């Protein structure tokens, strides 16, 4: 609890510094959160690209907007738990509005921009399927191509990222056959399972997914994401072939980026900021710079946008439905995960660091009752492999989750194993990582249909085993399919930021910093990428 508060404070401080820098503020006094002309905003990473507007907001309205970033569900949960923020700004506000304790805090809201969540299909694949320029393509057509193995696509994890959640709602509504608001009873898990057979790439954020798509574009045929991100990709010069944007006929769900006021005493600042953002000129600038559609009438659409009528599918009105849908996705519909945890048991891990590691792993076995904890825990059908290392690899232990009950045998086995860990001597990071990729090769030979990932947690420098260069050449020699597996590195204790960044960059993973945020929180965030 106090760790969470500390990290929130850290984020707020970063926000203050950021806002100050962006506003080019020459005044000697930095405005504080209590100031009536300061709006603290808990925002989704999706709106980060609007930071250049903050200086203009301040110049035009006198209001300093301070952004701190969070995932959609993570943010909604923090707000329900009483997080002190004046406003919230995520790509959709539905989850927040439906969450008891969070929705009731919303005093007012204004939509700022629009972007439908659609699917971009590689030109050659779209031509092959007869989808190019075809307004009649349905989610069911995509399901069919996915089920027969001819279409592979990327989508974010609905439990971690809003584009994935919105897409899942749309797909489930379309595949239910009714195009009406789905309910727990109308979720067609069999159809969803076929649809997600083609999902070969996942991620915890929409932006990261786009980067991963660029990296893996030769082995993936399409990507589900915001129209704005897909259009940006097409204009980026990074694609070998353009994406054909498909707006499936049953309908789509549009993200509307509501700016939500939570602190009634900031009503004035909120009114000024939203009125400014909703002026035609600013709307036009947002459209031109970020490829989001305007949220006010009277601003003509840029010719780059599709003029196809966008049928909007309904979003569920009950939180239980959304939770049931995410659970169905994780436990039944998606390809099962293979999560490899490479854990450092060097001497420096002794004491408090090892305790943190044990707590972080235990939290994934269903003992964390929070919403984020519920979605982060190990899922049905998942394979969890723990590779411990010190002087060399100590042990490789495999667990399979058949029973998801927190006190059931599968979760208990992981918890008991982790609780029995102790520390040893030196740190052979690259030997352990090498072993992890060998494990991947072995697993892929046994079952190629898993979404695999590696998490590397270490608290120090490599001082034993093979060298970074040796690992790099071993990695380069791996089969393509194994080399495609990302390593998510966790910077912890006295770990080397350079080394962790290099490994993440080499493998297409990402670096997570657990030096200022608890290991438990970081592990939960990484689960969004598995």
Partner 1 sequence: MKTTPGRLAALGLAILLVVGVGVGIISSAGQALAPSTVALTGYIGSEKDAFFKDPRVVAALQRGGFAVSVTTAGSRQIAATDLSKADFAFPAGVPAAEKIRVDHPGSKAFVPFYTPMAIATWKPIVDLLTAAGVVHTTGDVTTLDVAAYMDLVAKNTRWKDLPGNSAYPVNKSILVTSTDVRKSNSAAMYLSLASYVANGANIVQNDAEVAKLMDRLAPLFLRQGFVASSSEEPFDDYLVQGIGKSPMVMIYESQFIQRAAAADGSITPDMVLMYPDPTIFSKHTFVGLTPNGIKLGDFLTNDPEMRSLATQYGFRTTDTPAFTKFVADHKLAVPASLINVIDPPTYETLEAMITRLEADYNGQGTPVATPSPSPS
Give the dihedral of Cα atoms 327, 331, 332, 333; nearest 10 deg. 70
| Span between the terminal Cα atoms of the chain, in Å | 25
When the beta carbons of 327 and 458 are compared against partner 1, the nearer one is 327
* Nearest approach, Cβ of residue 500 and partner 1 (Å): 34
Strand-pair partners of 393: 389
131 part of the interface to partner 1, by CB under 8 A: no
Phi/psi at 387 (nearest 5 deg)? Answer: -110, 115
When the beta carbons of 141 and 250 are compared against partner 1, the nearer one is 250
Angle at 13 between CA 10 and CA 15, to 5 degrees: 110
Give the dihedral of Cα atoms 500, 501, 503, 504; nearest 10 deg. 110
When the beta carbons of 12 and 364 are compared against partner 1, the nearer one is 364
145 part of the interface to partner 1, by CB under 8 A: no
When the beta carbons of 126 and 401 are compared against partner 1, the nearer one is 401
| Six token digits for residue 337 | 């995960």
Q: Of 177, 197, 194, 195, nearest to 185 (Cα)? A: 177
When the beta carbons of 119 and 484 are compared against partner 1, the nearer one is 119
120 part of the interface to partner 1, by CB under 8 A: no
18 part of the interface to partner 1, by CB under 8 A: no
The stretch among 106-114, 118-126, 362-370, 453-461 that binds partner 1 (CB under 8 A) is: 106-114
Count of residues in contact with partner 1, rule CB under 8 A: 47
When the beta carbons of 37 and 124 are compared against partner 1, the nearer one is 37
When the beta carbons of 266 and 486 are compared against partner 1, the nearer one is 266
Q: Of 211, 200, 118, 191, nearest to 152 (Cα)? A: 200
Phi/psi at 104 (nearest 5 deg)? Answer: -70, -15
* Nearest approach, Cβ of residue 250 and partner 1 (Å): 6
441, with CB counted inside 10 A (0-12, 13-18, 19+), is middle
When the beta carbons of 30 and 179 are compared against partner 1, the nearer one is 179
| Six token digits for residue 297 | 């009438």
55 part of the interface to partner 1, by CB under 8 A: no
Look-up: residue for tokens 């010069």?
237
CA 108 to chain CA mean position, Å: 27
The site map against partner 1 for 336-365 (x = CB under 8 A) is x-----------------------------
497 part of the interface to partner 1, by CB under 8 A: no
When the beta carbons of 176 and 453 are compared against partner 1, the nearer one is 176
Considering only residues 173 to 192 of the shown chain, the ones binding partner 1 according to CB under 8 A are 174, 178-185, 187, 189
* Nearest approach, Cβ of residue 365 and partner 1 (Å): 16
94 part of the interface to partner 1, by CB under 8 A: yes
Q: Of 115, 47, 35, nearest to 75 (Cα)? A: 47
* Nearest approach, Cβ of residue 400 and partner 1 (Å): 11
CA 400 to chain CA mean position, Å: 24
Give the helix, strand, coil percentages of the chain, each rounded to 5.
Answer: 45, 20, 35
* Nearest approach, Cβ of residue 37 and partner 1 (Å): 15
The site map against partner 1 for 147-176 (x = CB under 8 A) is ---------------------------x--
d(CA 231, CA 445): 37
402 part of the interface to partner 1, by CB under 8 A: yes
123 CB neighbour count, 10 Å cutoff:
16
Q: 254, 247 in Cβ contact below 8 A?
A: no
When the beta carbons of 97 and 390 are compared against partner 1, the nearer one is 97
62 part of the interface to partner 1, by CB under 8 A: no
Pick from 58, 105, 111, 145: which binds partner 1 (CB under 8 A)?
Answer: 111
* Nearest approach, Cβ of residue 381 and partner 1 (Å): 5
Give the dihedral of Cα atoms 177, 179, 180, 181; nearest 10 deg. 100
Pick from 251, 465, 493, 508: which binds partner 1 (CB under 8 A)?
Answer: 251
When the beta carbons of 43 and 324 are compared against partner 1, the nearer one is 324
97 part of the interface to partner 1, by CB under 8 A: yes
* Nearest approach, Cβ of residue 529 and partner 1 (Å): 21
Pick from 254, 346, 388, 427: which binds partner 1 (CB under 8 A)?
Answer: 254
- 48-68 exposure pattern, b = at least 16 Cβ within 10 A, e = fewer: ebbeebbbebbebbebbbbbb
Q: 42, 75 in Cβ contact below 8 A?
A: yes
What does each C-alpha distance from 174 to 129, 206, 252, 311, 478 come to in angstroms?
Answer: 20, 22, 9, 11, 40
70, with CB counted inside 10 A (0-12, 13-18, 19+), is buried
* Nearest approach, Cβ of residue 289 and partner 1 (Å): 19
228 part of the interface to partner 1, by CB under 8 A: no
Strand-pair partners of 244: 121
How big is the chain, counted in residues? 530
506 CB neighbour count, 10 Å cutoff:
17
When the beta carbons of 122 and 249 are compared against partner 1, the nearer one is 249
Handedness of CA 265, 270, 272, 273 (dihedral sign): positive
Considering only residues 301 to 340 of the shown chain, the ones binding partner 1 according to CB under 8 A are 309-318, 320, 323-324, 327-328, 331-332, 336
The residues binding partner 1 (CB under 8 A) are 94, 97-98, 108, 111, 114, 174, 178-185, 187, 189, 250-251, 254, 294-298, 309-318, 320, 323-324, 327-328, 331-332, 336, 380-381, 402, 404
């Amino acid at each position: 609890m106090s760790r969470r508060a500390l990290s929130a404070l850290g984020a707020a401080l970063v926000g203050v510094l950021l806002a100050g820098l962006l506003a080019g503020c020459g005044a000697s006094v930095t405005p504080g959160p209590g100031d009536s002309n300061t709006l603290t905003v808990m925002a989704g990473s999706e709106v980060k690209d609007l930071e250049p507007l903050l200086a203009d907001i301040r110049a035009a309205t006198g209001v300093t907007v301070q952004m701190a970033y969070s995932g959609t569900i993570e943010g909604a949960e923090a707000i329900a738990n009483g997080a002190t923020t004046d406003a919230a700004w995520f790509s959709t506000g539905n989850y927040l509005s439906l969450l008891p304790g969070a929705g009731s805090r919303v005093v007012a809201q204004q939509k700022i921009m629009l972007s439908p969540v659609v699917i971009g299909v590689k030109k050659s694949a779209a031509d092959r399927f007869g989808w190019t320029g075809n307004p009649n393509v349905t989610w069911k057509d995509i399901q069919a191509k996915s089920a027969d193995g001819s279409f592979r696509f990327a989508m974010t994890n609905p439990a971690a990222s809003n584009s994935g959640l919105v897409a899942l709602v749309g797909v489930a509504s379309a595949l239910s056959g009714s195009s009406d608001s789905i309910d727990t009873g109308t979720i067609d898990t069999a159809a969803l399972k076929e649809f997600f057979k083609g999902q070969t790439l996942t991620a915890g954020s929409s932006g990261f997914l786009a980067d991963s798509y660029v990296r893996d574009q030769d082995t993936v045929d399409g990507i589900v994401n915001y129209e704005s991100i897909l259009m940006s990709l097409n204009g980026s010069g990074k694609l070998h072939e353009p994406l054909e944007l498909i707006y499936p006929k049953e309908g789509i769900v549009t993200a509307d980026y509501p700016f939500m006021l939570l602190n009634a005493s900031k009503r004035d600042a909120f009114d000024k900021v939203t009125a400014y953002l909703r002026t035609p000129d600013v709307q036009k600038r947002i459209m031109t710079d970020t490829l989001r559609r305007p949220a006010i009438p009277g601003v003509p659409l840029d010719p780059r946008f599709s003029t196809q009528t966008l049928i909007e599918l309904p979003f569920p009105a009950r939180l239980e439905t959304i939770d049931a849908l995410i659970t169905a996705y994780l436990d039944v519909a998606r390809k099962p995960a293979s999560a490899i945890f490479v854990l450092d048991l060097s001497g420096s891990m002794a004491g408090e660091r090892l305790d943190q590691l044990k707590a972080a792993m235990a939290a994934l076995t269903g003992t964390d009752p929070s919403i984020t904890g519920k979605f982060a825990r190990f899922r049905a059908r998942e394979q969890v492999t723990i590779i411990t290392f010190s002087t060399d690899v100590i042990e490789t232990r495999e667990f399979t989750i058949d029973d998801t009950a927190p006190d059931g045998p599968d979760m208990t086995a992981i918890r008991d194993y982790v609780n029995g860990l102790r520390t040893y001597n030196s740190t052979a990071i690259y030997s352990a990582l090498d072993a992890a990729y060998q494990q991947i090769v072995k697993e892929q030979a046994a079952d190629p249909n898993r979404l695999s990932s590696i998490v590397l947690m270490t608290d120090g420098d490599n001082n034993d085993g093979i060298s970074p260069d040796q690992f790099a050449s071993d990695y380069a020699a791996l089969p393509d399919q194994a080399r495609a597996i990302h390593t998510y590195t966790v910077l912890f204790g006295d770990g080397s930021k350079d080394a962790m960044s290099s490994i993440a960059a080499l493998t297409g993973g990402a670096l997570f910093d657990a030096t200022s945020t608890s290991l438990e929180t970081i592990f939960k965030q990484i689960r969004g990428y598995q």
